[in-house]
Structure 1
């Protein structure tokens, strides 16, 4: 499921290039293909995340996958810009539904909070794989003269197989909360989690991380081109051979390193102090961003994609630890809250960076300064988290009450 979602969401940059030509839309209009699906995920996570706790994991996942599949197959008749954007927005709503169900399911199949974090890194690793193969599929389709919409048809086929699998697989026993007291699952109870310090703290961390990460796949190509004035994709300012190739495929290199890092994270997070790992890795991101800006394109060419290794374990761990601070009957709701802030960071981060860049002559360097600021604030928060360890007692309590058996 994570891979299928990434195949479509992380291909939007390649798709935007085609849509702008086909429908003569502006950059601002084309940006809706990214921001509206993110808004759909955000609102779906916040307002529908409780479904995983109310209906159960399996029905929620199947509902979300069915809605996503419907949106994907409808791309076969998507012949105008408004319909394309509408279907992308619908797919975002669907992702918010099935992803909160999947995130809650991870808690059900985990035997400890530490295993929960390792499993989450494994799931997000497949997201990293989808982020690599999705743009490659689009590029191949276009090169073969096939419409990019077939990427969504392919994703729809994967989705159909996932629905069949979800129907056949035996899920762990989950007791739906049918109480009428203060623990009753509802939209209002789900929204009230925003005020919880654990949910809010990890959500803000996810927002800052995603805002910084999005600078890589949204603005790094603009920063690395040699002709910054026209953004013409020339790379003659780099030496022949490896440097020029890396400049052309810098985003792919980043995604490959991020995916590889997440598979390594399965092992790492089951053996090391998660707070220490996050603090050190976030510090490395700040260092890479700072040195890349200071040294210019020639240095950023290597340091910006390298951040994929350091970024790999941060978001899955935020997600896992944030969810693990709550009993299992609230996992869907809290996953939805974190997902809301995640999507908000993905939508707001690039937009703010674009505004700052435009205010300074359109140079993407200034957008990366904003991204460095996001990463620096996150690093300060993680230093505090490592020193004070505010979640230690809470995680121990949940470990004893939810995973003891």
Structure 2
């Protein structure tokens, strides 16, 4: 009897150890996957920081005019918009891991292609390929994290993008310094992208069947998600309103970044050094703000963070618009920067709340695409208004965009709440 009891206890301990080992193994895989996601988002930011530093040397080597940069930007933006728009379709067809591997491969080949291109006209074509890779990586990672991880991780993920975009200019500047060629920087980053593509291939199993934090894996939700085609999402009112939010938000972010320095120096007589410092502070606040928001996301819902952050951003834009004093304007820019930093990741994290789980995969890709479009068009519209009226119209225009953003956000809440009441 005593021996039998010992055998039972031994068997229980053995099973406990096995179960503990399985849990530890799952935890290790989870942390490895998170690390890989962060590395991927850092790598996404690297190419964005290269072109600005490389352009003087690049255009000199091809004997190009200054504004030829715009052609490369059009190429990369076109590729980015296309791949992010169809992100949901590609994920359903080949899965997120394969999509990320192919996207990194495309980006890496395009960047290395820059270094080998003998003719200028090849650069815009390669830019399309690089843009397609970047758009798919951006939308693919955002979709995956929104579905499978918490909202704090989403904020930190976007903070890591800031690390990449900061490292890019450093890599390019040092490449030019030590090799006397802009090609070195692209070669380094392109090679890193190819290595990352290989890592995605080698870790395909990590991306399979993780526990979904939001859908709880019900068969009904899985069936609904599979049923929703791209055209159905494009006719879904909450999805269209959500897409518009991203168009407006990124327009606000980029308009402030592009025009604040000109407004301060040419219209308000602020010194170039001081204006440059505050514009740099504005961009720097995105990384800091998202790191802080990552902790807040454990206590507050992402949709609440987006709402109150936009309201605080509106206050900052009003301070800049009324122009009561130089320091109040500078304070307004600082408030706006720290306020809007968490909005983009918070909007991504709350996508399923706004549009429904069955539309989430499609909507995130289109949202990323709309963000790229808004970031290009709305700052351009601000420039047209400034040319025809005055530079002082820009902060007023941004204030109006904030009001429009908050109005649409509230309308989505009403539509969503009404739909929830009907479902109940």
Counterpart among 393, 401, 404 of residue 374 in structure 1: 401
How many angstroms does 1:286 deviate by? 1.9
CA 1:36–1:294 in 2, change beyond 3 Å: closer, same or farther? farther
- Alpha-carbon contact 1:12-1:33 (below 8 Å) kept: no
Written as runs of structure 1 = structure 2, the 5 A alignment for 1:20-99 is: 23-25=63-65, 27=67, 29-78=68-117, 80-99=119-138
Query: 1: distance between equivalents of 2:245 and 2:359?
Result: 20
1:2 corresponding residue in structure 2: 41
C-alpha contact 2:98 2:201 (8 A) present in aligned 1: no
Residue in structure 1 matched with residue 291 of structure 2 by the alignment: 263
User: How many residues are paired up?
Assistant: 369
What is the rounded CA distance, in whole Å, between the counterparts of 2:186 and 2:365 in structure 1?
Answer: 24
Q: 1:306 to 1:145 in 2, by over 3 A?
A: farther
2:301, 2:391 → 1: CA distance?
A: 36
What displacement does 1:144 show?
Answer: 5.7
Match of 1:290 in 2: 318
- 2:75 and 2:94 map into 1 onto residues whose CA distance is 27
Of residues 326, 340, 345 in structure 1, which corresponds to 2:369? 340
Contact 1:52 1:333 in 2 (8 A): no
Q: How far apart are the structure 2 equivalents of 1:376 and 1:201?
A: 15
CA–CA distance in structure 2, aligned partners of residues 136 and 301 of structure 1: 27
Task: Name 1:254's counterpart in structure 2.
Answer: 282
> 1:309, CA displacement in angstroms?
1.3
Tell me the secondary structure at the aligned position of residue 39 of structure 1: helix
Gaps of 5+ in 2: 1-39, 211-218
2:251 to 211, 217, 220: 211
For 1:375-390, list aligned pairs within 5 A: 375-384=402-411, 388=414, 390=416
Aligned to 1:151: 185
TM-score (norm 2): 0.75
Q: What is the deviation of 1:64?
A: 0.8
Partner of 2:233: 193
Q: 1:272 aligns with which of 276, 288, 300?
A: 300
C-alpha separation in 2, matches of 1:280 and 1:326: 20
1:68/1:94 contact within 8 Å kept: yes
**Structure that is richer in helix per residue:** 2
Q: Partner of 1:271: helix, strand, or coil?
A: coil
Q: CA deviation at 1:208?
A: 0.6
CA distance in 2, matches of 1:308, 1:355: 24
For 1:223 and 1:131, how far apart are their aligned partners in 2?
A: 25
Deviations 1:251-290 (A, max 9, x none): 4322221111111121112211433322221122122222
Q: 1:30: how far off? A: 2.9
Distance in 2 between residues matched to 1:257 and 1:390, nearest whole Å: 32
Report 1:108-257 matches (<5 A). Answer: 109-110=148-149, 115=150, 117-142=151-176, 146-169=180-203, 170-174=205-209, 189-226=229-266, 237-238=270-271, 245-257=273-285
Contact 2:109 2:194 in 1 (8 A): no
Q: Relative to 1, partners in 2 of residues 1:109 and 1:47: Cα closer, same or farther, differing over 3 Å?
A: closer
What RMSD over aligned residues (CA atoms) do the two structures have, in Å? 3.4
Looking at structure 1, the residues matched to 278 and 125 of structure 2 have their Cα atoms a distance apart, in angstroms, of 30
1:206-261: per-residue Cα shift (whole Å, max 9, x none)? 111000000133222322335x6xxxxxx9944xxxxx654334443222211111
Displacement of 1:155: 2.1
Indicate if the aligned counterparts of 1:286 and 1:376 stay in contact, CA closer than 8 A. yes
Larger Rg: 2
> Within 1, Cα distance between the matches of 2:82 and 2:92?
17
1:134 deviates by 2.5
